[in-house]
Amino acid sequence: MPSTTGSDTAGTDTGASDGTASPEERPLFNLALSGLILLSSGASLYEMSDVSPALLVAGFVVTSLAYGPAASTAPGRRFVARFRAVHGAVRLAIVFGVVALVFGLAFAFDVPPAGVQSAVFGGAVALAAYVVYRILADRFGDG
């Protein structure tokens, strides 16, 4: 009889098409990376000593929705599948392109740096929470 634990991945392909490990197969790397992003954005925000609570919450909520309900929809699952099918260098270029777009728009519309950092920090907190949730769910099961 097949296993019914939360970490059972029978019948699912979690590896990338190029033979590299998928993000779910590298939980400690993901935790370290999200912690680094959290510390970096938090330190920058602390140095500015100016926090926008509304943008911090907005960054957290938008990132949480992107990882939760939006990723569970059919278009969200297709987007994730297509993004994972792309080679690593192209993924990196896409991420850097999005970051450049966000900071370019913030510069073009004269958004204060503390506002951008507050939103980034809120998103980093949500990312770290999601990574911890995934590690715990994989280790102890979803229910």
Place of tokens 């990196």: 92
Residue predicted with more confidence, 97 or 29: 97
Work out how many domains the chain is built from and give that number. 1
14 belongs to a structural domain: no
Residue 44 belongs to some domain of the structure: yes
- Domain-embedded: residue 118: yes
What is the reported pLDDT for 5? 44
Question: For residue 128, is it within any domain?
Answer: yes
∠106-111-113 over CA atoms, to 5°?
90
Helix%, strand%, coil% for the chain, nearest 5? 75, 0, 25
Task: Lowest mean pLDDT of 47-51, 67-71, 99-103, name the range.
Answer: 47-51
Count how many residues are written for the chain.
143
pLDDT digits (tens, 9 = 90+) for 37-50: 788 777 777 777 78
Answer yes or no: is 91 within a domain.
yes
Quick one: pLDDT at residue 46?
Answer: 76
| 123: containing domain | 25-140
- For 43, 70, 111, 115, the CA distances from 74, given in Å and listed in that order, are 37, 9, 34, 32
For the segment 10-37, what is each residue's pLDDT rounded down to a tens digit?
444 444 444 555 555 677 777 787 788 7
- pTM equals 0.67
> Does residue 30 sit within a domain?
yes
27 token code pair: 């939980």
